[in-house]
Structure 1
Amino acid sequence: MRTSLPRVIRALEQFHATHPWDHNAHYHRWILRRLPRRFDRALDVGSGSGDLARLLASRAGAVHGIDADPTIVDRARELTDPAAPVTFTVGDALREVPPGPYDVITCVATIHHMPFGDALTCFRRHLARGGTLVVVGVYRRQSWSDHLIDAVAVAANVAMAWIKNRGRRAPRPVSMTAPVRPATMTFADIVRDAHQALPGARLRRRLFWRYTLVWHRH
């Protein structure tokens, strides 16, 4: 068993290298289902190649994406129709966000790059009354339930990769080229700090090594 485990891990890594798919983009449609059909202004923090920002633009009067990586911001601009109501800027999301308020703020796989409590406080400050904040984040696995979800996620990940790529080798998506930083907070830490900053926030662990946070400002 001990000798077979490394072989299984290597086999999975090889499979994912030849059949990559974007775990974050998997949640984009889920995010849209948490939002109104129409809203005025939206902010996408850590906008990357702009996939989510462009989806938000189908419902919003204006969408602003901000990301710290100049290269990925240039790519987002190249991929976006100039007529779309979307703008992208390079900057620090905690210091250089264009003035709100925003009816919708989204943040996918980015908040673990920031001081967590400071980020939530910043988002709260920029969110309009009646607005919605949606965060999809990553957490450091610690509890037995974390590892149980991991076990399910590994099998589901292989199945999804096969389905999305139709069994063929696939290029690495543009959205997956950004630098990756491991999460340092456990899910319990995240829940505790989130409830301090955003009373009433709803958090849940998800498949594919993610959690979600949804908060409505009253």
Structure 2
Amino acid sequence: MESQYCFHDELVADVKIRGGRVFDIGCGDGLLLHRLAPFAEQVVGIDPHKEIISRVQERLSSVSNVSLIYDDFLTMQIRERYDTIICVATLHHMDVRAALSKMHQILAPGGRILIIGLATNKSIMDYIISGLLLLPIRLMDRVHGGMKVIGVRTAEPKESLGEIRQVAHGILPGAIIRRRFYYRYSLVWNKPKDANENGIK
């Protein structure tokens, strides 16, 4: 199983409870958009790769509440606010500080950021934990089978989990960041309901 898909169930479950408007950064093959659509008022996916967006448009042509944007998240001007912002295996493709700051900006008061990210190993503890997880991950792959996502761009992460925590806590105070399986981490942050709206509509 492609590792990022392992977290789709919990992301869908969150949106199922909260509903509202959802923004998926780096929407990739559109599978998560498709699964989120029945539980959200509107789902918007953005990806900077034209060929990927074209394929997803075909795939989701019959889903009325999904919109797709072919653009760069960091440079695109976004005036709308969203109740949930999702970012799966995409944050390491961007400048972490700039990306988290923009997510904070476009998140509606009372909204939630949900990130499944990748970090690199830099400390001794990073390498120890990765080594301990290697065998169970390989066993899970054998049980579930492997699956490749064709055409989705990949990149190696540059920041360690400790570095990501440091940046995130400066921008998203109180964010909950946990090391997860498949060398991933999760970040969850709830924006206060009384947050300054900064003039975004």
Q: Does TM, scored on the shorter chain, surpass 0.5?
A: yes
The answer to whether 1:198 aligns with 2:198 is: no
Match of 1:104?
84
The answer to whether 1:155 aligns with 2:140 is: no
| SS in structure 1 at match of 2:38 | coil
Q: Which amino acid counterpart does residue 214 of structure 1 have in structure 2?
A: V
Supply the distance in 1 between the matched residues of 2:147 and 2:185 (Cα, whole angstroms). Answer: 26
Residue 49 of structure 1 deviates from its aligned partner by 0.6
C-alpha distance after superposition, 1:123-181 (max 9, x if no partner): 0110001101001111111223322332233222222222223xxxx66334xx31211
Q: 1:149 to 1:34 in 2, by over 3 A?
A: farther
The size of the alignment, in residue pairs, is: 192
The answer to whether 1:188 aligns with 2:168 is: no
Q: Which amino acid counterpart does residue 149 of structure 2 have in structure 1?
A: P
Q: Which amino acid counterpart does residue 209 of structure 1 have in structure 2?
A: Y
Instruction: Say whether the 8 Å CA contact 1:56–1:63 is kept in structure 2.
Output: yes
Supply the distance in 2 between the matched residues of 1:106 and 1:32 (Cα, whole angstroms). Answer: 10
Match of 1:172?
148
Supply the distance in 1 between the matched residues of 2:98 and 2:117 (Cα, whole angstroms). Answer: 15
Segments of 5+ residues of structure 1 without an aligned counterpart are 1-20
Instruction: Say whether the 8 Å CA contact 2:110–2:190 is kept in structure 1.
Output: yes
Q: Which amino acid counterpart does residue 148 of structure 1 have in structure 2?
A: I
TM-score by length of 1: 0.81
TM-score by length of 2: 0.88
Q: Which amino acid counterpart does residue 162 of structure 2 have in structure 1?
A: A
Q: Which amino acid counterpart does residue 206 of structure 1 have in structure 2?
A: R
Residue 38 of structure 1 deviates from its aligned partner by 3.9
From the CA coordinates, give the structure whose radius of gyration is larger: 1
Instruction: Say whether the 8 Å CA contact 2:15–2:40 is kept in structure 1.
Output: no
C-alpha distance after superposition, 1:59-93 (max 9, x if no partner): 10110000011111111122225234111111011
Quick one: percent identity of the two aligned structures?
30
CA RMSD across the alignment: 1.7
C-alpha distance after superposition, 1:34-54 (max 9, x if no partner): 445142211000000111112
C-alpha distance after superposition, 1:185-214 (max 9, x if no partner): 111110000000111111011111111110
Segments of 5+ residues of structure 2 without an aligned counterpart are 193-201
